Structure 1
């Protein structure tokens, strides 16, 4: 048995922040942002009621409804995030409480923008081992709270949101997967937590904001994602033309278009939402998947290749049949 996605859902904050809005509060412009990233707007939390948990729960409820699955039928909940509302308990436990998923084990995964794929591959492993049959995975981020809003090179790139998928054990679904990490690149995309603070060492330093070396991340992303796609297709004995859609992490339109050119494939095979969502980290792939499902672009039997990269450095990919 393998993991099969049977339902999707998503949640984006109500507030839409355009490039023009940002240009009024910092030294940037719509042309500067669009030409470098393809982003024209993003959704950001704008009230106390919008949180990482609230977005995760809304996306989860949509996915459960789409799958026609009750929360009590879930065996497992995994939340992929780097911006949970709490250090502990895990966001997945709070989602479990809100949903009333009383029979599910629940935990979080931190693999940055690769998190949703790490969660999907983890569920597939559980299913292959015969441990669980029905799971909910969520990618959710409130990145706006860890950004330096005076750093135009970083803050204009990101958005908030959540995407979810319900997974069921089935004869057909996941075809092949891979994931990896390289801690030697851990300094190119980083956000420090609290520093040591106890009776023997004290500090008044606040947690740092997100730092990114954009050029290094860009080069890594194009190279690694192209490699992942090629390795995964070879592993499955498939040609790129057999894939209906390539759903890549939505970090930057230039990265996605560069990968399409390297693979010599038409842009139509690479749906995007980075223009209106920005980079939503672990949420980007499940939000995109939910969008194309709602747009009725998917048919039973379609082949999807999901691939992403993130801080760590991490990367992951999954080839599956819809």
Structure 2
């Protein structure tokens, strides 16, 4: 395995101002605060304004990162935006972000791997930098899932929120931060989580709704069966023991799902970071939001090992163990 030559050097985040509480949802669909908390662990989620889109959230997350760490993004070689809710099919959200930030001489690329998108984007950034192709890459996970959510569907509308997180990945030959990574896909499970595009059928079935559609039961079973095994393989690939992992940061899909994963996996729930309770399921943004929350409350510190594991629509997953240095 080729040794990484990059590390994360800065992080920032942003969530919209509007808060959608469980009590608000009680007025919209047949549900209750008790029912939602018991089944998902969620209490609030943030909702983008009518004229606020994914590139706007991404821009604010990058500006937050710049304010926190005093870094410059004007010399980045590449902008990678992981999102399932782009402003447009094209131009890319990354290109929109490049224009908003006024960055010159940079590439710009969107990545759609649903809730695993941020994990994939991080791995690509590390690979490109390690290869020598680039030296400094801006990686963002950003979503406005509320804009594709059916607020008459109790099964999905209680889950999703909007937000963005950004990290800077830079070349560092002396103190590389990526210890190991894995990816995988179970495309046969695509019918369990989708949002229609040009195709109106999948596997011979009419797809119907233009909003996000989810078979929560099947996703839960797939995740609880596969994520513990994947995290164990990732720890072995990094030549670590489970106790060497200071923090587990899974995609914040559902707190009860994460608890079940931790019961079966190598890292206990007590060493798990999430963003689900007050931000909901923010898809590609959930992992960087969890990291930022942990930095803010003093949990995540330089010198610790962090296992990131995104999983979701596809069905696909992307995991990395990072030595945190900021």
Which range, TM-score by smaller chain? over 0.9
- Output one character per residue of 1:127-183: Cα deviation in whole Å (capped at 9) or x when no partner: 111001111111111111111111101111100111111111113200000111121
Aligned with 1:27 (options 13, 26, 30) = 30
Is the 1:140–1:283 Cα contact (8 Å) retained in structure 2? yes
How far apart, in 1, do the equivalents of 2:300 and 2:39 lie? 30
Aligned with 2:100 (options 98, 101, 104) = 98
How far apart, in 2, do the equivalents of 1:31 and 1:210 lie? 24
Deviation at 1:103, TM superposition (A): 2.1
Aligned residue for 2:179?
175
Instruction: Give the TM-score normalised by the residue count of structure 2.
Output: 0.92
How far apart, in 1, do the equivalents of 2:312 and 2:301 lie? 29
Specify every segment of 5 or more residues in structure 2 that has no aligned partner in the other structure, as ranges: 201-206
Is the 2:245–2:267 Cα contact (8 Å) retained in structure 1? no
Aligned residue for 1:163?
165
Q: Secondary structure at the match of 2:232?
A: helix
Aligned residue for 1:202?
none
Is the 2:308–2:320 Cα contact (8 Å) retained in structure 1? yes
The change in CA–CA distance for 1:264 and 1:84 in structure 2 (over 3 A counts) is closer
Instruction: Give the TM-score normalised by the residue count of structure 1.
Output: 0.93
Deviation at 1:194, TM superposition (A): 4.0
1:38 aligns with 2:14: no
Deviation at 1:63, TM superposition (A): 2.0
Q: Secondary structure at the match of 1:39?
A: coil
Q: Secondary structure at the match of 1:175?
A: strand
Aligned residue for 1:283?
285
How far apart, in 1, do the equivalents of 2:228 and 2:217 lie? 17
How far apart, in 1, do the equivalents of 2:119 and 2:224 lie? 17
How far apart, in 1, do the equivalents of 2:211 and 2:63 lie? 31
Specify every segment of 5 or more residues in structure 1 that has no aligned partner in the other structure, as ranges: 197-204
1:84 aligns with 2:86: yes
RMSD of Structure 2 on Structure 1 (CA) = 1.6
Q: Secondary structure at the match of 1:286?
A: helix
Deviation at 1:2, TM superposition (A): 2.4
How far apart, in 1, do the equivalents of 2:318 and 2:283 lie? 13
Aligned residue for 2:250?
248
How far apart, in 1, do the equivalents of 2:46 and 2:5 lie? 34
Aligned residue for 1:298?
300
Q: Residues 59-208 of structure 1 correspond to what in structure 2 (within 5 A)?
A: 59-171=61-173, 172-194=176-198, 208=210
How far apart, in 2, do the equivalents of 1:227 and 1:100 lie? 43
Aligned length: 313
How far apart, in 2, do the equivalents of 1:218 and 1:92 lie? 31
Aligned with 1:15 (options 9, 13, 18) = 18
The change in CA–CA distance for 1:191 and 1:262 in structure 2 (over 3 A counts) is same
Aligned residue for 1:4?
7
The change in CA–CA distance for 1:207 and 1:262 in structure 2 (over 3 A counts) is closer
Deviation at 1:298, TM superposition (A): 2.4
User: Runs of 4+ in structure 1 displaced over 6 angstroms?
Assistant: none
